[in-house]
Amino acid sequence: MQLSVIIVNYNVKNLLRDCLLSVQKAAHSIDTEIIVVDNASSDGSVEMLKAEFKDLKLIANSQNLGFSKANNQGIAQAQGQYILLLNPDTLVYEDTFEDCLKFSTQTNNCGGIGVQMLDANNQFLKESKRGFPTPWATLCRLSFFNKLFPNSALFNGYYLGHLSKDENHQAEVLAGAFIWLKKSIIDEVGGLDEAYFMYGEDIDFSYRIQQAGYHNYYLGTVSILHYKGESTDKYSFKYIERFYGAMKIFSKKYYPKSYPLYHLGINTLMILHCGYHFFRRLLLKKA
């Protein structure tokens, strides 16, 4: 078995169907298995999978275990030499897998691979290529210095603004929507850290891959469509708590000396973020 594609689904039945159809086309010349882990969807996703995609492996959880734990469930059952962690709100193209496989086999010390992600309007998603969220990079992002100097390695290191989006580069962080790597590397560094329920696990995973001596790559010559966050209410407190909570977990784990100040900054941002969206909701109700 060459490739195991692992997709964690939560209440995006129609997007999942389209994603799976695109995966089947992309796998036409590669020995591939598809593993879908459903996190207790209530939209009929499991029933759709059983009726329309009988050949895939299905893990149907009775509760939402989170993104990290669900992916690890899929990894534990994977038989492929390569693993692709793929979001259900994506579409891959027919040559996507072949291009990634070719790059993997021809590149020495290749760790994980990420690709150029485009939204539904064909616009580039800047999280396709990122640097680690060091205290400095995070400060520049949260203070909007990165927007003032979008092409600067110093001020926009978070999104690697100095690197062309249309070329292949070494990159630090792989986006969780699409991570391609050898199963042997996962066996070496471990799966996703289950302390992260959702968000931040891809940064942590990327960090451990690089710490093990491998190079992560961003392929600007390979693109996919990513609808981005269709199962997430980005104005809910739960989203805000998980997003900023993931930043706390990562900073405490890898930047312990600067963690107290980092923690204070993140808590302040959480309060401001919650306040902004609380008043935003009130205004929308009155409108």
The arithmetic mean of pLDDT across residues 179-207, rounded, is: 94
The whole-angstrom separation of Cα 92 and Cα 5 is 12
Distances in Å between the Cα of 264 and the Cα atoms of 236, 247, 258 are: 21, 12, 10
Question: In the predicted model, is pLDDT for residue 235 greater than 60?
Answer: no
- Tell me, what DSSP letter sits at residue 125? P
Sign of the CA dihedral running 134, 135, 136, 138: positive
What are the tokens at 277? 């969206």
Question: In the predicted model, is pLDDT for residue 185 greater than 70?
Answer: yes
Confidence of residue 141 (pLDDT cuts 50, 70, 90): confident
Q: Give tens-digit pLDDT for 259-276.
A: 576 666 666 666 665 666
The torsion of the CA quartet 272, 275, 276, 281, rounded to 10 degrees, works out to 160
What pLDDT, on a 0 to 100 scale, did the predictor assign at position 282? Answer: 66
- Tell me, what DSSP letter sits at residue 127? G
Residues of the chain with pLDDT > 90, as a percent, come to 71
What pLDDT, on a 0 to 100 scale, did the predictor assign at position 144? Answer: 79
Arithmetic mean of pLDDT over the chain: 89
Of 68, 58, 32, 80, the residue nearest 176 (C-alpha): 68
Q: pTM for the complete prediction?
A: 0.87
The whole-angstrom separation of Cα 212 and Cα 197 is 24
The whole-angstrom separation of Cα 27 and Cα 29 is 6
The arithmetic mean of pLDDT across residues 123-146, rounded, is: 86
Q: Which amino acid is at 263?
A: H
Q: Which helix (H) or strand (E) holds 13?
A: helix 13-26
Distances in Å between the Cα of 33 and the Cα atoms of 29, 179, 182, 215 are: 12, 16, 15, 26
Of 224, 283, 275, the residue nearest 86 (C-alpha): 224
The arithmetic mean of pLDDT across residues 196-225, rounded, is: 94
More confident residue, 275 or 220: 220
The arithmetic mean of pLDDT across residues 73-102, rounded, is: 98
The whole-angstrom separation of Cα 100 and Cα 176 is 16
